Structure 1
């Protein structure tokens, strides 16, 4: 059986995740948890998983499963770093936010056209505006909300660099996507719960007992 290197898996995940540095905080920045349901087609049929976003003071923690076990992405603008936490290995890796964001910017689609419709909606009790992202392939509707902090796109890691235009444009003007609707009516992304609550500081820092691993060199 071929063994998968946890470091390589995590490095690939970081390089393909859209890391967005939260803009200047408002007077009352959002703090709490956002639960998002991701749906898609897998080798064994439809796949659904939930991703949890924890937001506090400009820091964002995204928790989800992965080939190397439970994994979390921690964006810390104050340190200008992104950390990948790998619970199964009690280990972490880090990279500058600049490197992550620049790699994403290089993939930005040139044919995407963004149109704000002005049509408002409510998803999980939160107001959002429908925005269409049209590319040569298709036109997708994204309902964007303001005031939920920075957004990290976990979907990008699932296509291994071949993600469609709409996934690379999920952070339109700093908005947070609450619902994405495809032309065929399917919903690959939808926020199902938004909770405003106090979160512990240690959720947004690397555990003291974690060992640092170096990022694998790119071929």
Structure 2
């Protein structure tokens, strides 16, 4: 997995729309997303697939070659990272993972949520533009209630949720527009369909890898 793929994963899973506890939701199926970002080599775009079934989440990133998959299973309080190129996976405890990214969130007191009433159709679904304003600027989220809550595996087991997050906790971002006008996330396709339980399990042929050792705190 290249560096930009990791950055895109962080952008999607690490704080665009954190929602607190993972809960089962009515929607079951696949959601295709286009992730865009800037790198030293220029702008890059990547397709991602977001699969939901009975509260479980699978996110496919990076394509067939060198791709990465994240599977969140709240019933087990586990997050699994699958690396297809190596037929291997890593296992993490969701509470520990959430704690690792907790510091990235903007303090609740610095955030204001404004519902604009302006509607748009994205990927065949209607969403409302909601402005999330902080000291760094105003981010526009076009949110829909048709897909239930946005499940963030890296935030899923955190108990405390900021008041501004609670205001949009049961909605899903179809498009995110940053203060500079760039669109780092946009849903391109939504398909309601039955999903196999096997999609949310570790393949028998995969070998478990150890997590990289964390550097000592100085």
Q: TM-score, normalised by structure 2?
A: 0.76
How far, CA to CA, are the matches of 1:215 and 1:61 in structure 2? 20
Q: Number of paired residues? A: 191
How far, CA to CA, are the matches of 1:65 and 1:77 in structure 2? 24
Q: Offset at 1:127? A: 2.5
**2:175 corresponds to 1:179:** yes
Residue of structure 2 aligned with 1:56, choices 31, 53, 72: 53
The match for 1:44 is 41
The match for 2:157 is none
CA RMSD of aligned residues (A): 2.9
Q: TM-score, normalised by structure 1?
A: 0.76
Q: Offset at 1:118? A: 3.6
3-state SS in 1 of match to 2:104? coil
How far, CA to CA, are the matches of 1:183 and 1:21 in structure 2? 25
Alignment of 1:75-90 (within 5 A): 75-90=72-87
Contiguous gaps of at least 5 residues in structure 2: 155-164
Q: Deviations over 1:158-180 (max 9, x none)?
A: xxxxxxxxxxx7x9414221101
Alignment of 1:160-179 (within 5 A): 172-179=168-175
**2:28 corresponds to 1:31:** yes
Q: Deviations over 1:103-128 (max 9, x none)?
A: 23332111332223343332111222
Q: Deviations over 1:118-140 (max 9, x none)?
A: 43332111222221111212111
How far, CA to CA, are the matches of 1:199 and 1:152 in structure 2? 19
Q: Summarize the Cα distance change of 1:24–1:44 in structure 2 as closer, same or farther, 3 Å threshold.
A: closer
